[in-house]
C-alpha cells in the first residue's frame, strides 16, 4: 500500500472504480481508497507458487475449497476490502462464477512481505484480518529469505503462531493440508537464510 487518495468514497463507488480502472487496483478501507503498487519478480513468483502449492494440497486432500490470487478482492468487513496475495474460502458462496468479483468468507489469507508493506501486513492489516469472523489462519511469506509464519485463531483468540524454515512442511490446520517450503520458494531466487547472498534471477 503506497499511496492514499484522501477523497471519501462509498463501497459502490469503489466497486465501480475497480471495474473500470485500467491503471491498477485499489484497496478500500473505511471510505478511503489505497492504490496498490507492483512487486519484484521474486514477490510475483512467490504469489503464484503459493496458489499452486495450496491448490495441489487441497486436491490431494480432496478438499472442496476455492483459492484465488491477488486479482481478487476480499471482503474483510462491510467497510474493508483488500487484495491479498492469496485467499482461500471453503464457503459455497465463494465458488467462482462469471458474475462474482469478491471473496466474502475468507478462511486463510496469505501475504508476501515486502519492504514497503511489511509493517502494514504485520500491524494494521493483521488487525483487520483478525476482526473478520471467518478468518482462521494468516500466513506471512518472507521474500528476503525462506521463512514463513502462520498465525492461527484458537478458542482463546489469535494466540497461536508457527514458524517455518527451509526444508520444513507448512501445515494449514483450518484446511487440513500441508505443503513444502521447497514448493513455495521454487525458482524464486530467495536465499534459504538471511546470511546467504541473494541469488540473481
- pLDDT, tens digit, for every residue of 172-201? 999 999 999 999 999 999 999 877 555 433
Same domain for 61 and 146, yes or no, is yes
Same domain for 6 and 78, yes or no, is no
Same domain for 158 and 81, yes or no, is yes
Helix, strand, or coil (residue 50): helix
**Position with higher pLDDT, 6 vs 161:** 161
Q: Is residue 200 part of a domain?
A: no
Q: Is residue 195 part of a domain?
A: no
Same domain for 20 and 111, yes or no, is no
**Position with higher pLDDT, 96 vs 38:** 96
Same domain for 21 and 56, yes or no, is no
Cβ neighbourhood burial of 52 (10 Å; 0-12, 13-18, 19+): middle
Which pTM value belongs to this model?
0.91
Q: Is residue 191 part of a domain?
A: no
41-68 mean pLDDT:
96
Same domain for 59 and 104, yes or no, is yes
Sheet bearing 157-165, strands edge to edge? 66-68, 86-89, 108-112, 137-141, 147-154, 157-165
Q: Is residue 99 part of a domain?
A: yes
Q: Is residue 98 part of a domain?
A: yes
Are the CB atoms for 8 and 31 separated by under 8 Å? yes
- Please name the residue ranges forming H helices in 61-169: 118-122, 124-131
Distance CA 198, CA 201 (A): 9
What pLDDT shows up at residue 199? 43
Instruction: Reply yes or no on whether the pLDDT at 162 is more than 90.
Output: yes
Check which CATH number belongs to the domain holding 61 and give it. 3.90.1570.10
What pLDDT shows up at residue 195? 72
Same domain for 71 and 120, yes or no, is yes
Same domain for 12 and 67, yes or no, is no
Are the CB atoms for 149 and 196 separated by under 8 Å? no
% of the chain beyond a pLDDT of 90: 82
* Structural domain containing residue 5: 1-37
As given in the structure block, the three cell numbers for residue 8 are: 471519501
**Position with higher pLDDT, 91 vs 160:** 91
Q: Is residue 196 part of a domain?
A: no
Same domain for 31 and 45, yes or no, is no
What pLDDT shows up at residue 196? 59
**Position with higher pLDDT, 65 vs 198:** 65
Same domain for 175 and 94, yes or no, is yes
Are the CB atoms for 58 and 177 separated by under 8 Å? yes
Of 177, 148, 151, nearest to 163 (Cα)?
A: 148
Name the domain count of the chain: 2
As given in the structure block, the three cell numbers for residue 41 are: 519478480
What pLDDT shows up at residue 1? 47
Same domain for 73 and 116, yes or no, is yes
69-98 mean pLDDT:
97
Same domain for 68 and 119, yes or no, is yes
Cβ-based neighbours of 181, under 8 Å, separated by 6 or more: 146, 148, 164, 165, 166, 167, 168, 169, 170
What pLDDT shows up at residue 159? 83
144-167 mean pLDDT:
93
Amino acid at each position: 500500500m503506497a499511496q492514499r487518495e484522501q477523497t471519501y468514497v462509498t463501497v459502490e463507488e469503489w466497486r465501480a472504480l475497480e471495474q473500470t480502472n485500467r491503471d491498477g487496483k485499489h484497496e478500500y478501507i473505511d471510505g478511503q481508497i489505497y492504490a496498490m503498487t507492483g512487486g519484484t519478480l521474486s514477490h510475483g513468483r512467490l504469489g503464484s507458487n503459493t496458489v499452486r502449492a495450496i491448490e495441489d494440497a487441497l486436491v490431494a486432500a480432496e478438499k472442496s475449497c476455492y483459492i484465488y490470487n491477488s486479482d481478487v478482492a476480499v471482503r474483510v468487513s462491510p467497510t474493508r476490502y483488500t487484495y491479498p496475495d492469496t485467499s482461500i474460502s471453503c464457503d459455497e458462496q465463494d465458488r467462482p462464477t462469471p458474475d462474482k468479483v469478491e471473496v466474502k468468507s475468507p478462511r486463510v489469507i496469505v501475504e508476501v512481505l515486502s519492504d514497503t508493506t511489511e509493517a502494514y501486513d504485520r500491524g494494521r492489516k493483521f488487525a483487520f484480518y483478525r476482526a473478520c469472523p471467518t478468518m482462521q489462519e494468516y500466513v506471512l511469506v518472507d521474500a528476503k529469505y525462506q521463512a514463513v509464519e502462520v498465525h492461527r485463531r484458537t478458542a482463546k483468540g489469535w494466540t497461536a503462531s508457527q514458524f517455518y524454515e527451509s526444508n520444513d512442511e507448512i501445515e494449514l490446520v483450518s484446511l487440513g493440508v500441508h505443503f513444502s517450503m521447497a514448493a513455495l520458494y521454487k525458482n524464486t531466487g530467495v536465499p534459504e537464510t538471511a546470511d546467504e547472498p541473494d541469488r540473481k534471477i
